[in-house]
Amino acid sequence: MPESHPFPDGDGDVPAPPPRRAWSWVPSLYFLEGLPYVVANNLSVAMYKSLEVSNSQIAFLTSWLSLVWAAKALWSPFVDGVGTKRRWVVAMQLAMVPALFGVMASLSMPNFVLWTMVGFFVVGFLSATHDVAADGLYILALDDDQQAAWVGIRSTFWRLALVFGEGGLLVLAGTLGTTYGPTAGWQLTLLATAALFAAGALYHAFLLPRAAADRPRDEPMEQAGCEAVRSFFAKPDLLRGLAIILFFRFAENHMAKLVVPFLMDSAEAGGLGLSLEQVGIAKGTVGVLCLVAGGILGGLAIYAHGLRRWLWPMVIALNVPNLVYVYLAWVRPDDLLVVNALIGVESFGYGFGFSAYMMYLIHFARGEYQTTHYAFATGLMALAVWAAQFWSGWMEEWLGYQGFFLWVVALTLPGFAVAYLVDVPASFGRRSE
């Protein structure tokens, strides 16, 4: 079959492209993996805040979206066993177009919070399914050392989706909202996002690799699914892995939903009083670019020396910079340069430290059913996000921003504790000699 044909026949006979060709698909694949996540989980927070929904409602309602990503383990055996990962990726990117149209239309309804949340759940389901297929394709198309070499790049472009979402799309929504009104501004922004997914699906239909191992399983799907589940829960290090997955970044998860409301709230409410455009620059552009830089450096560090060598520096980098928001909440500087710089410091630390977490998930998922096991692991990661976030809005309203960010710093202790449980070979993630 010619390489340019958009839909492979799934027989897996065409070998994966050499690693250098990964530049043609890894960056774009992970950009479009990250984009619906940031739209549903991050951009929705700014949207509801600009439409005057309360902090407790925002944190509570949007936190439930994390359960969609947590539940993807339930249908990951289906994705793993039916068709090819390549087909699933293209199909989910196409399906994202009508889903985003649905959210856009829901903003005009009287009970827009309910109906937009329904739309975001659909976006979340499609995104979670896309994650299973995309991560499976990444694992099947690249060798172990190549996966380590590209982990920083894949994380970088996933986070560039954050730049585009929390930065570009947020600024776009604010600018259009000033001209046409907040609701119309968000509708036009969602329309632009849908157009991007249509273009991305077309691009990937031609450029995604046809990995030899990317084929439907020979055994019946029910048998494969049961065996995948059984083998996951039979892992000898299961309890250790669950503790690490759930608590490694517990503090950051707890804080994530309240950062944008804090930046947007007035000084009287304890916030910094930034506009949507200023938040887009501070959090979505400066912050995410620093996040990207940290992710690239983290991936390169692991590739050079292995995960074990860099584990503790990354754990410290992940947790200690949370003190930045304690300072911002107590001092409330009015110099935007200072605000941007401090947000950049915290974001860089998070990006650097998160590399260790993602590599541990790859290690934990190793085995015959690694696509499904990785989906289970990242699903549990999403469950940890929900468990930290659904009550965080009430904690902020009870403690105020100053007390809340002190509470977040206290919650770094579980992250430090479970880091002692990480046990990987010294060579894991290190480039082959």
pLDDT tens profile 183-236: 999 999 999 999 999 999 999 988 888 877 777 766 555 555 677 778 888 888
Round to whole Å and give the CA distance between 285 and 165.
9
- From the list 261, 352, 311, 313, the residue with the least C-alpha distance to 55 is 261
DSSP string, 58-124: HHHHHHTTHHHHHTHHHHHHHHHHSS-HHHHHHHHHHHHHHHHHHHHHHTTSTTHHHHHHHHHHHHH
Burial readout 284-299 (b: 16 or more C-beta within 10 A, e: otherwise): bbbbbbbbbbbbbbbb
The region, left, alpha or beta by phi > 0 then psi within -120 to 50, assigned to residue 52 is left
In this predicted model, what pLDDT tens digit does every residue of 68-87 receive, in sequence order?
A: 877 877 787 788 777 788 88
Structure tokens at 30: 């992970």
Q: Is the pLDDT of residue 92 over 90?
A: yes
Contact 241, 235 (CB under 8 A): yes
* Tokens read off for 216: 């439907």
- Split at pLDDT 50, 70, 90, the class of 409 is very high
Q: Out of 3.40.50.720, 3.40.50.11740, 1.20.1250.20, 3.10.20.30, select the CATH number for domain 19-419.
A: 1.20.1250.20
- Encode pLDDT of 107-129 as tens digits: 988 889 999 999 999 999 999 89
In Å, the largest CA–CA distance within the chain is: 65
- DSSP string for residues in 275-298: -HHHHHHIIIIIIHHHHHHHHHHH
- Other beta carbons within 10 angstroms of residue 125's beta carbon come to 21
pLDDT band per the 50, 70, 90 thresholds, residue 13: very low
Instruction: Report how far residue 274's alpha carbon sits from residue 158's, in angstroms, rounded to the nearest whole number.
Output: 26
Render 260-271 in DSSP notation, one character per residue: HHHHHS-GGGTS
pTM score, whole prediction: 0.67
